[in-house]
């Protein structure tokens, strides 16, 4: 576990932000959230962002998505500067119940963002394939509200896959499910990432989850926030919930992050 430099040179960045600052409000109500932040994520890489509550993790993810514009700095997707959402980027939020439309069946929900891109037959075929990839093949006729929380979150992930998003931004996607389901969703996402060669940026408050899933863990801190450390994980490609978390290097990395965040 070696701390790496804050600005690492990348060969093939999928997404990156350059000198990004973000302020909300003005005058005496000004809230400076992010300042001069640089972060580059390589194609096929899994990067997690951790930091104290309110530090600006979600704000940074929304800037990466193009949903909001930074006050200063630039955002690039596949080396193209963006000012709005980019078709290669999918977003999965914690609150799956708000992202799935209750009056549509599961398969219709997954196929919905493909409207205008493909005819109906192709849309449904892609949606079925995506559902199968998250272990929900043949279940497309159910409505979201007939499914458990974990299943609904798998549907939300399938929607990004059907859309052929190569870059997935995930904001606390497993926070609303029980611990057991959380572990299986983590393993599902790790597997999909490898199989489909996805680039993933995950915001989480769970340091074990960040270490378990990521190639690098980015620690945000300060007010306004900046990247205080980037940790490379070296637990190998084949991770296992029990064995990886029992690895002494895992414990050392966890302690290092907790100390950085002021939890001694």
Ligand X SMILES: Nc1ncnc2c1ncn2[C@@H]1O[C@H](COP(=O)(O)OP(=O)(O)OP(=O)(O)O)[C@@H](O)[C@H]1O
Which CB, 1 or 261, lies closer to ligand X? 261
Q: Is 69 in the site for ligand X (CB under 6 A)?
A: no
* Least distance in angstroms from the C-beta of 172 to ligand X: 7
CA 23, CA 32: separation in Å to the nearest integer?
4
Selection from 50, 40, 8 nearest residue 254 by Cα = 50
Q: Is 55 in the site for ligand X (CB under 6 A)?
A: yes
Q: Is 33 in the site for ligand X (CB under 6 A)?
A: yes
Which CB, 55 or 190, lies closer to ligand X? 55
CA 60, CA 17: separation in Å to the nearest integer?
9
Of the residues 16, 57, 86, 216, which one makes contact with ligand X according to CB under 6 A: 57
The 3-state secondary structure of 172-222, one letter per residue: CCCCCCCHHHHHHHHHHHHHHHHHHCCEEEEECCCHHHHHHHCCEEEEEEC
Q: Is 263 in the site for ligand X (CB under 6 A)?
A: no
* Least distance in angstroms from the C-beta of 24 to ligand X: 4
Q: Which stretch binds ligand X (CB under 6 A): 47-55, 105-113, 135-143, 249-257?
A: 47-55
Spatial CB neighbours of 63, under 8 Å, sequence gap ≥ 6: 17, 20, 22, 34, 69, 70, 75
Q: Is 205 in the site for ligand X (CB under 6 A)?
A: yes
Q: Is 54 in the site for ligand X (CB under 6 A)?
A: yes
Q: Is 197 in the site for ligand X (CB under 6 A)?
A: no
Q: Is 67 in the site for ligand X (CB under 6 A)?
A: no
Of the residues 40, 48, 59, 109, which one makes contact with ligand X according to CB under 6 A: 59
Q: Is 65 in the site for ligand X (CB under 6 A)?
A: no
Which chain residues interact with ligand X by CB under 6 A?
24, 31, 33, 51, 53-59, 205
């Amino acid at each position: 576990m070696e701390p790496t430099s804050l600005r690492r040179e990348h060969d093939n960045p999928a997404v990156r932000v350059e000198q990004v600052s973000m302020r909300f409000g003005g005058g005496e109500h000004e809230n400076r959230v992010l300042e001069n932040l640089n972060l580059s994520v390589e194609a096929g890489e899994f990067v997690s962002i951790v930091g104290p509550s309110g530090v600006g993790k979600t704000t940074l993810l929304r800037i990466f998505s193009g949903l909001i514009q930074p006050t200063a700095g630039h955002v690039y997707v596949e080396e193209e500067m963006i000012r709005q959402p980019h078709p290669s980027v999918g977003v999965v939020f914690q609150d799956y119940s708000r992202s799935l439309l209750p009056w549509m069946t599961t398969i219709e929900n997954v196929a919905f963002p493909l409207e205008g891109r493909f005819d109906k037959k192709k849309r449904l075929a892609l949606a079925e394939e995506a559902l199968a990839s998250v272990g929900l093949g043949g279940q497309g006729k159910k409505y979201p509200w007939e499914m458990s929380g974990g299943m609904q979150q798998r549907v939300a992930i399938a929607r990004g896959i059907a859309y052929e998003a190569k870059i997935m931004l995930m904001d606390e996607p497993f926070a609303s499910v029980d611990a057991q389901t959380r572990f299986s969703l983590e393993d599902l996402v790790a597997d999909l990432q490898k199989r489909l060669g996805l680039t993933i940026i995950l915001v989480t408050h769970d340091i074990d989850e960040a270490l378990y899933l990521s190639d690098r863990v980015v620690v945000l801190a300060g007010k306004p926030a900046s990247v205080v450390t980037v940790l490379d994980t070296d637990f190998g490609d084949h991770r296992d919930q029990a064995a990886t978390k029992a690895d002494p290097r895992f414990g050392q990395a966890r302690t290092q992050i907790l100390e950085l965040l002021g939890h001694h």
